[in-house]
A and B are shown apart, each in its own frame.
Chain A
Amino acid sequence: MTAEGKTASFQLDGATVPFEPGQTVIQAALAAGHYIPHLCYHPEFKPHGSCRVCTVEVDGRTVASCTLQAQDGMEVLSQSDRLRKEHQTLVQMLFVEGNHFCPSCEQSGNCRLQAVAYDLDIMSAELDHLFPNRPVDASHPEILLEFNRCILCELCVRASAEVDGKNVFALSGRGITKHLIVNAESGRLADTDIAVTDKAMEVCPVGVILRKGVGFRVPIGERRFDRQPISAQAREDAPRRPTTGNEDST
């Protein structure tokens, strides 16, 4: 509410978006059903601002909308040609940074990176692939870590620390060598205290943290983003209180 008692709002690509005090631009937009592409943002966690896929333009300045506090009367652009190209390149960067072979990936159809890419009409990587060498960790009897697909969003790091209270995951390295590590001297997931019911198991937007033995339970073609493009599911990402780990993980 503003001082005069009317609901505060900003303009997003010409639409009026109301917001509550303390909300960031993306939080208010998603709550109102307006999609802004995003990957490291998650409705249950404090915005992070690292993937930059939610970049918008305000007063000629480009900023990440997930960390930008909404202000009354603000004019926000998210869909100009220029921004769209930037969103595309950012997503392409995440593809070439890892090794993504969607046709053989268990996450295909449920994967946010793939869904955002389809939604932005990305047909090829355009950039040169970096082909990193990232061995998988299959040590855990129930869980597989396929690091090749990691986009470094830190959601599992945050979920494990803030919800599970465990710190199973962290980041190490710097720059392009930045990578996910697990909390064990051996470096193996089997030697951590992760459990399949952890929140960290359900937040991975891509296909890194996978439950063994349940692959392809829902057939390709009937998965979340097969049914509807991600941009039509904005409200699902409206901010909400954190829930604890996976209840239906059987």
Chain B
Amino acid sequence: MGTHAELEAIVDRYSGESTALLQILREAQEIEGWLPPATLTCLARLLEMPRARVEGVAGFYSFLHIERAGRYRVLFSDNITDRMAGNSELLDRFCNSLWLERGKTSEDGLALVDTTSCTGMCDQGPAMLVNGWAIPQLTPARVDEVAELIRSHTPVEDWPAALFQIEDNIHRSDMLLDASLEPGAAIRAAATSGPLATLEAIQCSNLRGRGGAGFATGLKWQSCRNATGDMHYVVCNADEGEPGTFKDRVLLTRYADLVFEGMTVCAFVIGARKGFLYLRGEYRHLLAPLQEVLARRRSDGLLGNDICGQPGFEFDIDIHLGAGAYICGEESALIESLEGRRGIPRNRPPYPVTHGYLQQPTTVNNVETFCAAALIALRGGEWYAGIGTGKSTGTKVLSVSGDCVRPGIYEYPFGVTVRQVLEDCGAQRTQAVQISGPSGTCIDATEFERRIAFEDLPTAGAFMVFDESRDIFEVASNFVHFFAHESCGFCTPCRVGTTLLRNVIDKLHKGKGSQHDLNQIFKLSRLLQSASHCGLGHTACNPLLDTIKRFRPAYERRLESLEFEPAFDLDGALERARAMTGRDDAGAHLRTDE
């Protein structure tokens, strides 16, 4: 374990605050690459909290290891786009070259290799994370290079910088990505017109949240401003966990000032003195650059006391790094995580605007929403309302990936057709597009005249393209696995239902399915939609329902019979015995398929 002194230093850096538990665990893990039992005990003592709570939090997040995990933790991103780009073959090659078994820490404690949910590099996949650091554009040569660096025990800090080079790939920009805002301009504009007029501009712009749900931003800010509390908080949701989405990554890389500017304007309007940026763990590489931007803004008087010379306007921003949990993008789970807990969605009402961080009024918005808000503060609500469609004003930044020539970032005024986007990114013979990720909608070629807008195809930004060579069943199967892995486990329908769905899909995958299994999918889907506690469970069956409706042959091909087939695989049940005895000969198998 880390020495007591090392752990004490980490805890002290966070002033022993229990809300920092996740940050503390993340840093404590860097000492040895995992969190041994004694480390958890020591941290619990230092933080004066029950050990079981510390272990409960450590056990929740994918990137925290409470079992020995090796000096190098290598996680291959496993979104469908990574799959299509050949991540499975690369993973096998990597495991073979290091003599490793996937999911098992090597005996010598050198490395652990496994997969992880989409890491937000779909425009430059396949990608991996090594000890939390992103490496995109994997090729056999790059994978071999990584294996060699590990074999030679080279510390990750000393690896060639070229491995970690990440591209922005902006292919179409509009008013948001074209805006070159002088830092402080939007805050000064807000300060000149005052909080109420700024709020009015946001309301009159009809800006709607860009994180998926499309809630009216002005209304949210107003409710939060009017809510009573000791402190008000601003939270920027940079968890960006939806597979296929990576626009927040680019906004935070290139437009960090605009994001912080929007958060500061929000603080001015709602009367907050403290803000948080919740950055997904997969974007660890952005932490230091973002902290530099914050430091610069502090020294320029854009954060801290008397911001822009406004007496009494005080605001600062902390960055919290997540640790691998899609559910922490859900705003109330995000707040739980910010408070140092397991990321479990809260019972609502009350909503974060009245009872958010530490039960105080809190405004949570997406990265892109804050960017748009900054522009509105500067240029006015009417200007903004003139762009886009009636119900969807402004522009949308799309993350385009999959089967196209130019994957990357595309910004359009709302109302653009799917066909237009497909043309611009150089997609050909397109079979289907997954709009807004697994929790969104899968559309087929008859629907490409549909429009990206809240009134037709709402989206948080993901736009994954599948051409005619793809098996749509594989797409759905990947998404079903994603939800089973990311269910927080709080409520029964989602915890058990996503796993049962995964098992059904795997059964179909093996060609063992029957009509009974399809019926089972419908039954479970209905229950998930109606009885789940949060949006994850409500949308977890979308990929199945959408694709069964539009691509039924992809499923029927896999049905062995139209009647019942048992899920229990007699021969498969002997697998463990075979592994234990090291046998795989004919005598160690039962033949059940003749």
Contacts and interface: CB of A to CB of B under 8 A. Distances in A.
Interface in A46-90: 47, 49-53, 55, 62, 64, 67, 69, 86, 89-90
A151 to B, nearest CB: 8
Contact of B60 (A127, A169, A174, A184): A174
Nearest to B58: A172
A184 B485 contact: no
Contacts, number: 125
B430 interface: no
Interface string B334-364: 0000000010000101000000000000000
B500 A53 contact: no
Interface in B484-514: 484-493, 495-500, 503
B323 to A, nearest CB: 11
B495 A176 contact: yes
A38 to B, nearest CB: 12
Interface residues of B, number: 48
B59 interface: yes
Interface stretch (A91-99, A142-150, A195-203, A218-226): A91-99
A124 interface: no
A117 B332 CA distance: 33
Interface stretch (B14-22, B257-265, B459-467, B526-534): B526-534
A141 interface: no
B40 A170 contact: no
B562 interface: no
B492 A128 contact: no
B59 to A, nearest CB: 3
Contacts of A243: none
Nearest to A95: B496
Interface in A188-228: none
B492 A175 contact: no
A176 B484 contact: yes
Interface in A123-159: 127-128, 130, 152
Interface in B12-44: 37-38, 40-41
B491 A93 contact: no
B56 interface: yes
A86 B40 CA distance: 40
B50 A52 contact: no
Interface in B526-567: 526-527, 530-533, 567
B325 A167 contact: no
A89 B490 CA distance: 17
B531 A90 contact: yes
B339 to A, nearest CB: 16
Nearest to B502: A176
Interface string B552-585: 0000000000000001100000000000000000
Contacts of A168: 52
B347 A178 contact: no
A233 interface: no
B523 interface: yes
B444 interface: no
Nearest to B50: A167
A97 B500 CA distance: 10
Interface of B: 37-38, 40-41, 50-53, 55-56, 58-62, 66, 325, 342, 347, 349, 484-493, 495-500, 503, 520, 523-524, 526-527, 530-533, 567-568
Q: Which 6 residue pairs are nearest across A and B when measured between Cβ atoms?
A: A172-B59, A170-B52, A178-B489, A167-B50, A183-B52, A93-B496
Given A90-B527, A181-B55, 18 more contacts: A50-B492, A52-B492, A55-B530, A67-B347, A93-B493, A94-B496, A128-B568, A130-B503, A173-B59, A174-B342, A175-B484, A175-B485, A175-B488, A176-B489, A176-B495, A181-B59, A183-B50, A185-B41
Interface of A: 47, 49-53, 55, 62, 64, 67, 69, 86, 89-90, 93-94, 96-97, 127-128, 130, 152, 161, 167-178, 181-187
